[in-house]
Amino acid sequence: MRFSQRIGNREVKVELEKEFMSTELRNTLWSAFLEVTLGTKKEKAQYSSQAYSDKTSFYRALWMHFFKWPIDNLDMAYGEIAEWNAKAVVREWFYAAEWDYVFDFIEFSVNYDDDIFAHIYNEYLKREMSAYRFVDGKIVEINSEEEIIEIETAISNTDKFNPVKTHLKRAVELYADKKNPDYRNSIKESISAVESLSKIIVQNDKTTLGQALKIIEAKHKIPGSLKSAFSALYGYTSDEGGIRHSLLENEIMVDLEEARFMLITCSAFINYLICKL
């Protein structure tokens, strides 16, 4: 907290910034883009077999695959990007774009580098009180740092359990798709991740989550109340007595809040099961 805020002369931001982008956050993200995304790319081709420098290749990808602008509008000089012009064009777009398009742009840039800089952007998003963070390469709405940790830990912990990791990553993708979110199927993927792990633990691919939890409860001393809670959640998504049918037929309203709850809760339970093992 700054001095002016400590003495009460300036307002302290207490609410997370959602469906909005302050000037401070936009400036911060642009600076991060310059320093982290562009600043780490070589300006000259390193190898004789390399057609373009890292920076030129990035701009070309940005032009063709993100903006989808004609490539002959990208200024080149002697086979490399004329960055002084290209950067100005991108900057003008960045500061005129709606807040969600800016996040699209940042997400594209981070994934171009295989998600290795996501943690740096997350630090800036956290500092500026944004309600959004990178989780597994996708920008998602998150209410607390603990939620991010649970999801990312679960994805990391399941490296040796491919079916579990696949379900979790898909749940994140469906939840994070701002243009066409699929919360219903995100929930199904979240609980399927728990079910897959349970089947692996009991070494029976044909068992249900409810049956597997009974075995796990007895063998690994899981509290009965916790097992019952997850059996009830499983019923919410998979009960053949009617809830599952209702989910498939859109009879039950499923919104962002339910999808986020299931993603976080299932991730936490997966982490719990792996720790018990």
> Over its length of 277 residues, how does the chain's per-residue pLDDT go in tens digits?
566 655 566 664 545 678 889 999 999 999 999 999 999 998 776 665 566 888 999 999 999 999 999 998 888 777 778 788 899 999 999 999 999 999 999 999 999 999 999 999 999 998 888 989 999 899 988 767 777 788 888 888 888 788 899 999 999 988 888 778 888 888 889 988 988 988 888 888 888 777 887 787 777 777 767 667 766 766 666 554 444 445 555 656 777 888 888 899 889 888 888 887 7
Instruction: Spell 109-126 as b/e; 16+ CB within 10 A means b.
Output: bbebeeeebbeebbebbe
Cβ-in-10-Å burial (0-12, 13-18, 19+) of 83 comes to: middle
Tokens of 9: 């002369």
65 neighbors 145 (Cβ within 8 angstroms)? no
Burial of 17 (0-12, 13-18, 19+ CB in 10 A): middle
Q: Do residues 187 and 262 touch, judged by C-beta distance below 8 A? A: yes
Predicted confidence at residue 240, as pLDDT, reads 45
Helix pair 118-127, 99-112: axis angle to 10 deg? 150
What are the start-end ranges of the E strands in the chain? Answer: 76-77, 80-81, 132-135, 138-141
